[in-house]
Structure 1
Amino acid sequence: MVNTDRPAGEWIGHPLGRRSVAWTERDAILYALAVGARADELDLVFEARLRPLPTFALTLAQWAPDALGALRAFEPGLALHGAQRLEVLEPLPARGELTMTAEVEAVWDKGSAAVFDVRVESRCFMARWSIFAPGRGDFGGDRGPAASPTAAEGDELTVALATFPEQAALYRLCGDRHAIHIDPAAARAIGQPRPILHGLCTLATSALGLARALGAHPADLRKLKGRFTAPVLPGDTLELRAKTSGTAADFTVAKEGHTVIAAGHALYGD
């Protein structure tokens, strides 16, 4: 049950603690394969020359939004991952241990719902989860900033993104084991015909495919953001459309003409 004694707005600034998380080359390789790395992309899948994908950091920091759900700031079974940001400060080593701190950076009042922004910081990255929590709005807070417009200029690029049937089952081994990604009954309970793909997996798959199309190394990702607007089923074929300038791109991702990631932005290199 949600902690109704504490209005959503009172969670602003709430510390979620400090945590050290360790990983090995195996973890980084498993992650790369789960988001669509190919066997011939040796920098991503071979320990002798491994460069972990920057989005791997988001699996290391998944504990923070999970911690807020465990405190019952919102109902975890009803909340949705609304948007994600990642800013890379320095590359992740192939193996290591990283200390992170997290807090509730903001809570926005959307009327029928609240949006909790959870910020995680470390020496290697800053990440922000936006969690859409039905039933937690109407607390008299700010509605939040308006969505940024997409770029009106730039070279146009279209990329086909193939997901695969086992992708959600594989990706969940990287840390997010929510039942809706593996259990058909749990998926049906949220109105889906079968288990859905993790939003972060879709975003990372998009960033990987975009890097290939731009001729950038995917491990050179420096900034990434996107807003999740519809679910993806493992095995779906997606279409990424971007306007690019050098190794920067504003993009959307769609499935059969329906947007699944909006307001996307990626930057590779300095």
Structure 2
Amino acid sequence: MPIDAALALAAAPRCEEITWRAQDVLLYHLGIGAGADPDKDRPATDPDELRYTLESRLHVLPSFATVAGGGPPGVIGGLSMPGVDVDLARVLHAGQGLTLHRPVPTAGTATAGGRIAAVYDKGTAAVLVMRTEVADADGPLWTTEARIFVRGEGGWGGDRGPGALPGPHGTAPACPHGTAPAGPPAGAPDRTVERPVRPDQALLYRLSGDRNPLHADPAFARRAGFDRPILHGLCTYGITLKAVVDTLLGGDVTRVRAYDARFAGVVYPGETLRIRMWREEGRVRVTVGAVERGDAPVLSDTVVRHT
């Protein structure tokens, strides 16, 4: 069996040193659309965008943590852990969580320790939960949790885990730990914004570390069951957090405390994201849809917790 749950769970954490510089942060911000003109009424040199694109004013969007140091152990790291041997073409990123212990520095060196925290048997598929703790000399910085869906690898009679809602093309599971409430809130959203995705967005975003050919190679994408390369889920994740910070948190990246999302569907480069936001006490609930495909769900069960 390609996934040995007992071996994967028993494996020692895989630790590595990660280092990032201001230019890595700048590249990540460009990869999620910073410096563009989302509202069609201000230039890329607007001060609100320069905080993401000019080193002398740089603020780090917390979702950068998912790629800091070229991408700490997450989706790809989870696939190389003991007890895991799967075909990359069968893998989908099902969801992502992030908890901030301190604001992300513009540059730094830290230790990232990643391990498989859970393995679920969904019958026709498996779900791996890859948890990574990152700390520097001053203490904990952030914790990430990548939920990895592997088609065709279930059926060994293991723990099914919580949640079984469909995701991209009916394949991916719900957030295993229930950290985000299911379904959109009742009532009209407090804010709705649209963010265009550039046709070359995936090619730019992949320079931050995720070189999965699914996002660049048409032949590989077809083998994985898609008409053409799809956008990284974590790119959509970053675009969405930036929209929430810019729209409802006054552009203050330090107010974000945690962020969790389920990847409910794919995004194709060149599409437009419609991001709906509902304010609640201490948090913003969010849904994201692809405008050109009738608001097909992209992110669901999504929450940004803030001060």
**TM-score, normalised to structure 1's length?**
0.90
What's the secondary structure of 2:270's corresponding residue?
coil
Tell me by how many angstroms 1:13 deviates: 4.2
Q: Quote the Cα distance in structure 1 between the aligned partners of 2:2 and 2:218.
A: 34
2:126 aligned with 1:114: yes
1:188-199 to structure 2, matched below 5 A, reads: 188-199=222-233
Tell me by how many angstroms 1:267 deviates: 2.2
What's the secondary structure of 1:193's corresponding residue?
coil
What does residue 35 of structure 1 align with? 32
What does residue 25 of structure 1 align with? 22
Tell me by how many angstroms 1:5 deviates: 6.7
2:274 aligned with 1:239: yes
Alpha carbons of structure 1 residues 155 and 52: separation in structure 2 relative to 1, 3 Å: same
Kept in 2: contact 1:8–1:114 (CA 8 A): no
2:77 aligned with 1:67: yes
What does residue 99 of structure 1 align with? 111
Kept in 2: contact 1:208–1:218 (CA 8 A): no
Select 1:224's aligned residue among 224, 239, 259.
259
What does residue 142 of structure 2 align with? 125
User: Tell me, which stretches of 5 or more residues in structure 2 are unaligned?
Assistant: 36-43, 135-139, 164-177
Q: Give CA deviations for 1:68-106 in whole Å, capped at 9, x if unaligned.
A: 313444322211100100011111211111111111101
- The residue type paired with residue 236 of structure 1 is E
What does residue 41 of structure 2 align with? none
What does residue 212 of structure 1 align with? 246
What does residue 170 of structure 2 align with? none
Tell me by how many angstroms 1:9 deviates: 4.7
Out of 163-172 and 57-66, give the one that drifted further: 57-66
Q: Quote the Cα distance in structure 2 between the aligned partners of 1:43 and 1:119.
A: 30
Q: Quote the Cα distance in structure 2 between the aligned partners of 1:193 and 1:31.
A: 26
2:286 aligned with 1:251: yes
Tell me by how many angstroms 1:116 deviates: 0.3
Q: Give CA deviations for 1:159-190 in whole Å, capped at 9, x if unaligned.
A: 21211111100000000011111112222222
Kept in 2: contact 1:199–1:228 (CA 8 A): yes
Alpha carbons of structure 1 residues 261 and 222: separation in structure 2 relative to 1, 3 Å: same
What's the secondary structure of 1:12's corresponding residue?
helix
Kept in 2: contact 1:113–1:132 (CA 8 A): yes
Q: Quote the Cα distance in structure 1 between the aligned partners of 2:72 and 2:90.
A: 18
2:152 aligned with 1:135: yes
Tell me by how many angstroms 1:248 deviates: 2.0
User: Tell me, which stretches of 5 or more residues in structure 1 are unaligned?
Assistant: none
Q: Give CA deviations for 1:34-76 in whole Å, capped at 9, x if unaligned.
A: 1111243222111112111111110124434323313444322
2:288 aligned with 1:262: no
2:53 aligned with 1:45: yes
Tell me by how many angstroms 1:191 deviates: 2.9
- The residue type paired with residue 231 of structure 1 is V
- The residue type paired with residue 128 of structure 2 is F
Tell me by how many angstroms 1:6 deviates: 5.5
Q: Give CA deviations for 1:183-229 in whole Å, capped at 9, x if unaligned.
A: 12222222323221100000110111122221432523221111112
What's the secondary structure of 1:194's corresponding residue?
coil
Tell me by how many angstroms 1:138 deviates: 1.9
Q: Quote the Cα distance in structure 2 between the aligned partners of 1:204 and 1:191.
A: 25
What's the secondary structure of 2:30's corresponding residue?
helix
Select 1:149's aligned residue among 178, 182, 194.
182
**TM-score, normalised to structure 2's length?**
0.80
Q: Quote the Cα distance in structure 1 between the aligned partners of 2:187 and 2:11.
A: 40
Kept in 2: contact 1:15–1:104 (CA 8 A): no
Q: Quote the Cα distance in structure 2 between the aligned partners of 1:218 and 1:204.
A: 15
What's the secondary structure of 1:170's corresponding residue?
helix
Q: Give CA deviations for 1:133-179 in whole Å, capped at 9, x if unaligned.
A: 12221222222223533444785322212111111000000000111
Q: Quote the Cα distance in structure 2 between the aligned partners of 1:103 and 1:264.
A: 24
Tell me by how many angstroms 1:246 deviates: 5.7
What's the secondary structure of 1:124's corresponding residue?
strand
2:89 aligned with 1:77: yes
* Matched residue count: 266
- The residue type paired with residue 26 of structure 2 is I
